[in-house]
Homo-oligomer: A and B are copies of this chain.
Amino acid sequence: MKKIQQILKEKGVKPSFQRIRVLECLMKSKEHPTVEMIYLKLAKEIPTISKTTIYNTLGLFEDKGLVDDLTISGQEARYDYKEKPHSHFYCKKCRNIIDIESIRVPCHKDEICGNQIEEAHYYFRGVCKRCLNKKGGDVNG
């Protein structure tokens, strides 16, 4: 895996200790964490870290194109490291956001109706595989 410091530098972000940790957290996590989740995780090893720093850092990362703000589930922002393009699936039951690697953009090129597209975001809602299986052998409502 490419060094986190290197990734930050390439994006024009000075690799401070906190920034490295925040990015590392995002890269290792598959849960598209909220600010709160990142904060709780990092607070274990950096007791003095503040949410303000997490907000600052994520805002900076977003500006630099390192992460995406997934505004899928409403009240809390969830962050996604943009390693490669992918889509998201939001499960209504367990409320997890699952990466979907396989979906790709179809027939439209870089334009739709004359509008110039820079980013395409696809997300799906439904019930995930895991919850479907649970449901099969479960009493439910």
- The interface of chain A, by Cβ under 8 A from chain B, is 69, 71-72, 74, 77, 89, 91-92, 98, 100, 102-108, 112-129, 132
Contacts and interface: CB of A to CB of B under 8 A. Distances in A.
Number of copies: 2
A122 B100 contact: no
Nearest to A128: B115
Nearest to A87: B112
27 contacts: A69-B74, A89-B113, A91-B115, A98-B115, A100-B112, A100-B113, A100-B115, A102-B113, A103-B105, A103-B108, A105-B105, A108-B124, A113-B129, A114-B129, A115-B127, A115-B129, A115-B132, A116-B126, A116-B127, A116-B132, A117-B124, A117-B125, A118-B125, A120-B122, A120-B125, A121-B122, A121-B124
